[in-house]
A = this chain, B = another copy of it.
Amino acid sequence: MSLIVQKFGGTSVGDLERIAKAAVHVKRAIDDGHQVAVVVSAMSGETDRLVGLVDGVEKDLDRQEHDAIVASGEQVTAGLMALTLQKMGVPSRSWQGWQVPVITDESHSRARVQEVKPHNLNACIDAGVVPIVTGFQGVTQEGRITTLGRGGSDLSAVILAAALGAERCDIFTDVEGVFTCDPRVVAKAHKLDKITYEEMLEMASQGAKVLHTRSVATAMNHHVRLQVLSTFTGAPGTLVVDEDEIVEQKVVSGIAYSRDDAKITMVGLPDRPGVAASLFGPLADADINVDMIVQNISPDGDATDLTFTVAKGDLDKALQVIHDSNGNLGARRIEPDPDVVKVSVIGVGMRSHAGVAGSMFEALAEKGINIQLISTSEIKISVLISEDYLELALRALHTAYGLDTDE
């Protein structure tokens, strides 16, 4: 009998009625002959309420207590889900992180899982009882409760699926799967049946919110087949799998975008060795992540223009750091610009196809969209453009790469 891990996010367990709907998916999988282990998030809004209480005392005072408090949300949902399944005639019981146990390191609020001991859960499953495991939480060797940080419940599900040797890990959420592009912007976007781990990883890191990069990377490393699907429809979702499971591969699988970047241009920077190090060193020390970087020769001889992006939330801090570093490092002026977006086309097919970047630039040029920065990886091309052109760019690229539903 094959084992499936099913994970239900906060909106899927937002109230008793939704928990009952989620439980139907569990029962259906069992009726189909599978064994099932379930992972649940806190009811939507509950984690925020608990974090609000903690911050009401004082923010970042003691992450150990923060975790003990915040982890209680999953505890409630796990119990309610177990009760709901029992009521439907499905034997079930809840397991908290410390009961499994899910052993983590001591980095509270962003703990890394060190080991999931599968013995208790396997015994539970073998006894015909569906285990409902609290997502998001673990326990240190010393017995203190930890939480895994953002996207933690997905991560719990993936790690559990790996530990239990599950055939698949189903991530039930409020969307139908992974789309070629954000369907709220691009009406012709469609759900992908399959996507590779690498593409999903790029999609997630370039702004697609459906899965967190940590969960995808962990699934990739442990070869856990993921499915993203909707709790509310019951239709098949998107499978995230190894490349060899995908027979016919398009050149571009999806288009992601992010509004989280801001651009900084240092105009007329003295063009001498070490100037980049004097800039990016202090930024790194200040914990500011720099993403895209482009340097080009300034028309006026021995100076250069340097442009790069940082997270929008870090913009002011970055400008301060630059100012404090030896008076702007001799740049003639600094031009910050928060009104930019990053658009990325992603696809493993790029490895074997030439001209993908060219089509991108052409499609954007046709619409009169100016490209401010470009960066590429093996399976991704990202451009920075003015945010005014975001929707236009996404629709143009979606059409250019043959992703529109009617094609």
Contacts and interface: CB of A to CB of B under 8 A. Distances in A.
Given A16-B53, A64-B93, A98-B98, A80 B69 contact: yes
Given A16-B53, A53-B16, A98-B98, A78 B84 contact: no
Contacts of A62: 82-83, 86, 93
A267 B228 CA distance: 72
Contacts of A212: none
Contact of A87 (B16, B50, B61, B98): B61
A90 interface: no
Contact of A79 (B66, B87, B93): B66
Interface of A: 16, 19, 50, 53-54, 56-58, 61-62, 64-66, 68-69, 71-73, 75-76, 78-80, 82-84, 86-87, 93-94, 96, 98-99, 143-145
A283 B50 CA distance: 47
Given A65-B79, A72-B75, A80-B69, A87 B57 contact: yes
A140 to B, nearest CB: 11
Number of copies: 2
A277 B80 CA distance: 45
A96 B137 CA distance: 15
Contacts of A50: 76
Contacts of A72: 72-73, 75-76
A80 B93 contact: no
Nearest to A77: B69
Nearest to A65: B79
Given A64-B93, A143-B99, A57 B69 contact: no
B78 A61 contact: no
Nearest to A134: B68
A66 B94 CA distance: 11
A144 to B, nearest CB: 8
Contacts of A56: 16
A80 B143 CA distance: 19
A124 to B, nearest CB: 12
